[in-house]
Amino acid sequence: MDFTLNDEQMMFAETARTLFADSCSPDHWHRMMEADAAWDEARWAAIVDTGLTAMLLPESAGGLGLCEVDFALIAREAGYAALPEPLVESAGVAAPLLAALAPDHPALGDPMATIAIAHPLNPVVPHADRAAAILLEKDGEAFVATPDRVTLTPAPGIDPFRRLFRVDWDAADATALGSKSNGADWALALDRAALFSAAMGLGLAQRAVDLAVDYAKERQQFGKPIGSYQAVKHHLATAQVAIEFARPVVMAAAADIGRQDVHSRARVSHAKIVALEAADNAARASIQVHGAMGYSWEVDVHLFLKRALALSQNWGTPAFHRARIAERLFTQAAGPDQLFARDQKERETENA
Amino acid sequence: MDLSYTPEQQAFRAEVRDWLARHVPAEPLEHFDATRAGFEAHRQWENTLKSGDWGMVTWPVEYGGRGLDLIQWLIFEEEYYRAGAPGRVNQNGIFLLGPTLIEFGTHEQKQRFLPPMASGEEIWAQAWSEPQAGSDLAGVRATATRDGDDYILNGHKIWSSRAVFADWAFGLFRAPGSERHKGMSLIFFPLDAPGVTVNPIRKINGHVGFAEIFLENVRVPAFNRLGDEGQGWHICMATAGFERGLMLRSPARYQVAAAKLAALWQERKADADPMLEAEVIRAHMNAEAYALSIYQTASRLMAGAKIGPEASTNKIFWSELDIHLHRTALSILGPEAELLPPPGAQDWLDDYIFALAGPIYAGSNEIQRNIIAERMLGLPR
């Protein structure tokens, strides 16, 4: 039993944090919004150079063969920076799925390429127009297509950095990647998407709190910084408590995601629900602490509110994830000795 | 990161489970705050625990413990609650004072006080608050006047849990004339010493769970002072920040309650508000989140980290989840919620009443939020 991160994991996260701090600062956000841009090619090149897009790909596909715990830390940093590019959706979810289903697909050979996934749980696909390949699913069958073979209809959303598209397609224009046996890969992809959304939620939440703390130290009313008033302190303390009790759930979900059983699924769902609640609560508390400034476009808190809204409802709504927790709670043994429980079947396989 | 138990940890769990199965009383004991008989029955249970060396498993062997690590402590607690073993009547001693003694006490003090604490021979109450010093604990007025090798204690303490039946208390006293955080010392005194008067206070559940203590020229040896003279505030804060953040409330307590709540829901859902299912699931999530957080903290401490102000987040989280969980249970019971259960049955009502104290004791949640805001987030005082 070891719940700590190792030095390499912390170093990788630190690298991502520095990269995003340098390349995805408030100045960058503002310039992009002025230009109505949702993509920064130079930043994406730096992300690719750093190896972040190769973390979850197997070594056989030129990847680093790292695990979900490693990538969850990166996803958290992406959330902290409100990263516009779909690093998490592509490198965390779609690319590893494509590598599992079609290891020789040409899109995997181009390091700068992004892969998108049109999952039945999500009505829209962010940045689908820039994807080298789009993964699709119909009646339990997996397909892949290039964007020019499907119909992309822009679906304007409130997050200035999520360029969204509805995807309509015909199976005749896509390449089938096989059926039933791919169910496990699709299930893992959903769990990864939910997990990394949760990890991004941790980052979104912390940034919203940090922005509010900075503001509350500076802004003076009644002759004192507003952060010295308990009403303000308690808003932010409450937001921080939610983060503190979402983080270990996210990390535990990441550590056990590979088991793909009723227990690991429930933990991913738990992480998804609480981390994005933490993000939503923190964003709203941050707007309140900023007062009228928080309601203005010029202050960046709205970016975190909007991203939290999107991630809360995509990759499974709270109700979807609550049902997966219910399945665990009401069909399996409960109690304090069941915290790290696993399927009996898997245990037997492991012993044999 | 590896969230599986080692074979040694699994074997340890089996050993604890086996011992508890053979020793936990078949009938629940009367509550230790209800009557002297209930209190003494719990003392007897502490003694039974000690006979198996289970008194306080994390303490060094020479002071009555087993020298186990924090993960083993968590496993022990999980099995303890799972077995429905009696509440720990000496929790003020073993969970609060004990770890503080191990950190700040001299070898002689540890030898004198820890073994009888681990065996229940000496049961401890806490004497920190005063009528005018609650959340503002630095406002204590009770004094400790040095007289040769002794201290003479005077003052009025209140809200002292267990003080009605306990043997000893540890309290905050200040040097005469000192003010605020300076000049305070943490001093132990026997509750039957000449000059000590204990008046029971009834709680909202009717039990005499706490008391006020009057001290009039109570003489104790200077040996009973923990740490240096004037270091009392620092030690109290260390108690709050160190293991108390980890140990005061075991995650297992809430995991057991959440599992019982899930069973109650399954049994009663046909007649209950369907909206409550989400609350039952939430209670389970909260209990697991708290447990995972404590496992993470235990792992970090074992790797050499120190617990910091984030301990305050624990206090807020468990106290709020406890109330939510029990309110959900009462909502499922509906109009039967107000009825006292038959003896031996699950007492959701009393557990709910107990949970309501959580946001108040051990530093009110308002104070904890101030600590989080000022020491974790860096907001100005």
- Give residue limits of the domains in chain A: 183-346
Instruction: Give the separation between CA A28 and CA A17, rounded to whole angstroms.
Output: 15
Res B312: pLDDT:
87
Clarify whether residues B267 and B173 are in a common domain: no
Going by pLDDT thresholds of 50, 70 and 90, the confidence category of residue A84 is very high
Partner residue opposite A3 with nearest CB, options B284, B299, B366: B299
pLDDT at residue A352 tops 70? no
- Closest B-chain CA to A4: B1
Number of residues written out for chain A: 352
What is the per-residue burial (b if ≥16 Cβ within 10 Å, else e) of A288-322? bbbeeebeeeebbbbbbbbbbbbbbebbbebebbb
pLDDT (tens digit, 9 = 90+) per residue, A245-266?
999 999 999 999 999 999 999 9
Going by pLDDT thresholds of 50, 70 and 90, the confidence category of residue B245 is low
In a domain, B2, yes or no: no
Clarify whether residues B214 and B199 are in a common domain: yes
User: Which of the two residues, A229 and B34, has the higher pLDDT score?
Assistant: A229
Number of residues written out for chain B: 381
Q: What is the average per-residue pLDDT within A12-40?
A: 97
User: Which of the two residues, B173 and B248, has the higher pLDDT score?
Assistant: B173
Q: What are phi and psi of B184, to 5 degrees?
A: -95, 145
Partner residue opposite A252 with nearest CB, options B3, B79, B372: B3
Res B121: pLDDT:
96
Q: What is the average per-residue pLDDT within B30-40?
A: 93
Domain range holding B295? Answer: 249-376
Clarify whether residues B335 and B288 are in a common domain: yes
The C-alpha of B135 sits at a distance from chain A's nearest C-alpha, in angstroms, of 14
pLDDT at residue B243 tops 80? no
Tokens found for residue A101:
């289903």
pLDDT at residue B290 tops 60? yes
What is the per-residue burial (b if ≥16 Cβ within 10 Å, else e) of B82-93? bbebbebbbbbb
CATH number at residue B87: 1.10.540.10
Among A57-66, A182-191, A306-315, B117-126, the range scoring the smallest mean pLDDT is A182-191
Partner residue opposite A325 with nearest CB, options B281, B313, B377: B281
Res B362: pLDDT:
85
Residues of A in contact with B303 (CB under 8 A): 4
Interface of A with B in 189-228 (CB under 8 A): 209, 213, 216-217, 224-225, 227-228
Q: Do B281 and A335 touch (CB under 8 A)?
A: no
Burial label, A146 (beta-carbon count in 10 A; 0-12, 13-18, 19+): middle
Residues of A in contact with B301 (CB under 8 A): none
Residues of B in contact with A6 (CB under 8 A): 1
Clarify whether residues B109 and B131 are in a common domain: no
Residues of A in contact with B372 (CB under 8 A): 233, 237, 240-241
Cβ atoms B310, B317 nearer than 8 A = no
pLDDT at residue B235 tops 70? yes
Residue where a domain stops, chosen among B171, B200, B231? B231
In a domain, B146, yes or no: yes
Query: What share of chain A in percent tops pLDDT 70?
Result: 96
Res A18: pLDDT:
98
List the beta bridge partners of residue A136.
A143
Q: What is the average per-residue pLDDT within A190-204?
A: 98
Q: Do A227 and B380 touch (CB under 8 A)?
A: yes
pLDDT (tens digit, 9 = 90+) per residue, B312-326?
899 999 999 999 999
DSSP state, B149?
Answer: T
Residue where a domain stops, chosen among B231, B260, B285? B231
Q: Do B369 and A238 touch (CB under 8 A)?
A: yes
Residues of A in contact with B288 (CB under 8 A): 249, 267, 270, 339
pLDDT at residue A333 tops 80? yes
Res A121: pLDDT:
95
List helix spans (H) across A81-182.
Answer: 87, 95-101
In a domain, B238, yes or no: no
pLDDT at residue B242 tops 70? no
Partner residue opposite B369 with nearest CB, options A233, A252, A337: A233
Q: Do B295 and A248 touch (CB under 8 A)?
A: yes
User: Which of the two residues, B13 and A138, has the higher pLDDT score?
Assistant: B13
Report the number of distinct structural domains present in chain B: 3
Clarify whether residues B15 and B115 are in a common domain: yes
Clarify whether residues B85 and B141 are in a common domain: no
Res A25: pLDDT:
97
pLDDT at residue A38 tops 90? yes
- Closest B-chain CA to A5: B1
- Residue-averaged pLDDT of chain B: 94
Res B218: pLDDT:
98
Residues of B in contact with A213 (CB under 8 A): 377-379
> Rounded to whole angstroms, what are the CA distances from A302 to A196, A237, B58?
21, 20, 48
Helix A262-290 to helix A301-313 angle (10° resolution) is 150
Domain A183-346 CATH class label: mainly alpha
pLDDT (tens digit, 9 = 90+) per residue, A104-117?
999 999 999 999 99
- Closest A-chain CA to B375: A237
Clarify whether residues B254 and B372 are in a common domain: yes
Q: Do B2 and A209 touch (CB under 8 A)?
A: no
- Kindly report the pTM of this predicted structure: 0.96
What is the per-residue burial (b if ≥16 Cβ within 10 Å, else e) of B311-333? bbbbbbbbbbbbbebbbbbeebb
Residues of A in contact with B255 (CB under 8 A): 334-336, 338-339
Q: Do A209 and B377 touch (CB under 8 A)?
A: yes
Q: Which residues of B participate in catalysis according to the annotation?
A: 243
pLDDT at residue A139 tops 90? no
The C-alpha of B197 sits at a distance from chain A's nearest C-alpha, in angstroms, of 38
Q: Do B303 and A4 touch (CB under 8 A)?
A: yes
- Closest B-chain CA to A266: B285
Residue where a domain stops, chosen among B172, B197, B231? B231
pLDDT at residue B240 tops 70? no
A344 touches chain B (CB under 8 A): no
Clarify whether residues B190 and B109 are in a common domain: no
Res A34: pLDDT:
97
Res B209: pLDDT:
83
Residue indicated by tokens 């078949």: B26
Q: Do B372 and A241 touch (CB under 8 A)?
A: yes
> DSSP string spanning A223-276?
TEEGGGSHHHHHHHHHHHHHHHHHHHHHHHHHHHGGG-SHHHHHHHHHHHHHHH
Q: Do B378 and A213 touch (CB under 8 A)?
A: yes
In a domain, B96, yes or no: yes
Res B207: pLDDT:
87
Instruction: Give the separation between CA B205 and CA A257, rounded to whole angstroms.
Output: 45
Clarify whether residues B284 and B366 are in a common domain: yes
In a domain, B1, yes or no: no
Partner residue opposite A227 with nearest CB, options B5, B300, B379: B379
CATH number at residue B278: 1.20.140.10
Instruction: Give the separation between CA A287 and CA A293, rounded to whole angstroms.
Output: 8
pLDDT at residue A1 tops 70? yes
pLDDT at residue B241 tops 80? no
pLDDT (tens digit, 9 = 90+) per residue, B356-375?
999 998 889 999 999 999 99
Q: Do A1 and B6 touch (CB under 8 A)?
A: yes
Query: What share of chain A in percent tops pLDDT 90?
Result: 92
- Closest B-chain CA to A8: B1
Q: Do B366 and A234 touch (CB under 8 A)?
A: yes
Among A333-342, B172-181, B244-253, the range scoring the smallest mean pLDDT is B244-253
